[in-house]
C-alpha cells in the first residue's frame, strides 16, 4: 500500500510566526463591543506611541507609525530628494534596492564576507564607502536574508565614521531572536541625531497580518526626511494589539527561546548528514548550503511533500545553493529534517 502523503502545508519559506500568541493578545482580539466604539472615531493621538515613549523614556516626537517596515522605507525614500545618494548592502533585503530604483535614487553598495560558519558585512568596505558622505546608508541588523548581526563595537565605529549629514537607517525588523549583540535602541536614538531605527511587529511578536512598524528617530532624523505627521491618526486596532504584545514581553521571549532550541536541534540533525553546510543566524530562520547537484532536487522534493523552503537565489542569484528555513514547531521541524535525510539517502545510493 503506498505511503500516504501528509497534506498539511508547512510554510517555512516566509518569515511568518508559528508559535502561539499571549493570552493578553487573544483577549484584546475578543473585545468586540469596545472595538466597535473605537473604530467609529479618529484617533489623532497614538496610544501606542504614548506607551512606547513612556517605556523608553523618549519624547513622543521621536516616533512615527507606518504600515510595516515597507511603509517606513516608502516614507523615508519619499522624503528624500530625487537623485539622493544611497548606500545599500549589496546582498541585503531586495526591497531597499527595488524601491530606491523606483524613487530614482543614486545607488552605491557595500560588500559582504562569507565566513566559515556565518556571513558578515565587509566593514572595511562599508567604512570606506561612508567617507563619500552619502545622503543615506541602510544597515540591516539582523541582516536579511543572511541572518547575521552587526557587532555592537562595529556599530560604534560606523557611527564614529558616518557624517552627521548622512541619514542612517537601521532596520531592526528581525530583532529579538539573537543571543548576543542586542541593541539598546533608546540609547542609540538619544546618542545619534541622524539615526532612524525601523522596528516592526511582524517577526518577534508575530503580527505580520497587522502590518505595523515604528520609526524611532534621532533628534534630526525627521527633518532629514521632511516627515509630515498624519492628520487623522493611525489604525487603532493594530495599536491596541501591539500594546498587548508589549505587555506580554515574557511570553514572546519564551517563544523566542523555543525557536532557538528548535533551530539548534535542526542544525545538529542536518550536520549529522555530513553533506550540508549550515550558517549561524541571529534570526527566526536557518541557513543551509546544499551541494550544487542536490539543490534542485531538494526544492522539488520539498514542493512534493508540501514543505515551503526559500531558495536564496530568489533574492540574489549568486547565492544559488543556499536555502532559508523559517523555524516552525517541533512536529513540522521533524518533517523538514526528514526531507533533508531522505534526500541524502537518495543522493548517496
Cβ distance 282 to 148 under 8 Å?
A: yes
pLDDT value for 1 = 36
pLDDT value for 33 = 67
Domains and CATH numbers, the chain: 10-20+250-348 (3.90.1150.10), 24-247 (3.40.640.10)
Residue 181: closest CA among 190, 189, 172: 172
pLDDT value for 77 = 97
Alpha helices by DSSP H, listed for the chain, are 23-30, 32-38, 47-56, 68-79, 94-102, 123-130, 152-161, 185-191, 221-224, 236-246, 249-272, 292-304, 330-348
The whole model's pTM is what? 0.94
Q: What angle do CA 66, 68, 69 make, to 5 degrees?
A: 100
pLDDT value for 176 = 96
Task: Give pLDDT tens digits for 166-198.
Answer: 999 999 999 999 989 999 999 999 999 999 999
Q: pLDDT below 70 — which residues of the chain?
A: 1-6, 32-33, 349
Q: Determine the Cα–Cα distance for residues 262 and 268; give it in Å rounded to an integer.
A: 10
pLDDT value for 29 = 86
pLDDT value for 35 = 75
Structure letter (DSSP) for residue 135: S
Q: Quick one: angle between helices 94-102 and 68-79, nearest 10? A: 40
Amino acid at each position: 500500500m503506498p505511503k500516504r502523503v501528509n497534506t498539511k502545508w508547512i510554510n517555512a519559506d516566509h518569515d511568518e510566526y508559528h508559535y502561539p500568541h499571549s493570552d493578553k493578545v487573544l483577549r484584546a482580539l475578543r473585545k468586540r463591543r469596545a472595538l466597535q466604539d473605537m473604530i467609529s472615531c479618529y484617533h489623532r493621538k497614538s496610544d501606542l506611541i504614548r506607551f512606547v515613549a513612556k517605556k523608553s523614556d523618549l519624547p513622543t516626537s521621536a516616533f512615527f507609525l507606518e504600515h510595516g517596515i515597507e511603509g517606513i522605507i516608502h516614507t523615508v525614500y519619499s522624503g528624500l530628494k530625487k537623485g539622493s545618494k544611497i548606500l545599500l548592502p549589496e546582498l541585503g533585503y531586495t526591497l531597499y534596492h527595488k524601491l530606491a530604483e523606483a524613487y530614482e535614487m543614486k545607488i552605491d553598495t557595500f560588500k559582504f564576507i562569507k565566513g566559515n560558519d556565518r556571513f558578515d558585512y565587509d566593514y572595511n568596505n562599508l567604512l570606506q564607502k561612508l567617507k563619500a558622505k552619502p545622503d543615506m546608508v541602510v544597515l540591516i541588523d539582523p541582516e536579511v536574508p543572511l541572518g547575521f548581526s552587526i557587532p555592537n563595537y562595529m556599530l560604534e565605529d560606523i557611527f564614529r565614521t558616518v557624517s552627521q549629514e548622512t541619514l542612517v537607517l537601521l532596520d531592526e525588523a528581525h530583532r529579538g531572536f539573537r543571543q548576543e549583540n542586542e541593541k539598546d535602541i533608546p540609547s542609540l536614538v538619544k546618542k545619534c541625531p541622524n539615526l532612524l531605527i525601523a522596528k516592526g511587529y511582524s517577526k518577534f511578536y508575530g503580527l505580520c497580518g497587522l502590518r505595523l512598524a515604528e520609526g524611532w528617530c534621532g533628534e534630526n532624523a525627521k527633518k532629514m526626511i521632511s516627515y509630515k505627521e498624519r492628520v487623522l491618526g493611525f489604525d487603532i486596532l493594530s495599536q491596541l494589539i501591539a500594546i498587548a504584545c508589549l505587555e506580554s514581553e515574557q511570553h514572546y521571549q519564551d517563544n523566542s527561546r523555543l525557536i532557538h532550541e528548535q533551530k539548534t536541534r535542526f542544525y545538529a540533525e542536518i550536520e549529522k548528514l555530513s553533506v550540508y553546510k549550515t550558517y549561524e543566524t541571529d534570526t527566526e530562520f536557518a541557513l543551509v548550503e546544499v551541494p550544487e547537484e542536490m539543490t534542485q532536487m531538494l526544492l522539488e522534493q520539498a514542493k512534493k511533500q508540501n514543505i515551503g523552503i526559500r531558495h536564496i537565489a530568489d533574492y540574489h542569484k549568486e547565492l544559488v545553493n543556499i536555502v532559508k528555513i523559517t523555524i516552525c514547531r517541533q512536529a513540522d521541524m521533524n518533517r523538514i529534517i526528514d526531507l533533508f535525510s531522505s534526500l541524502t539517502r537518495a543522493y548517496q545510493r
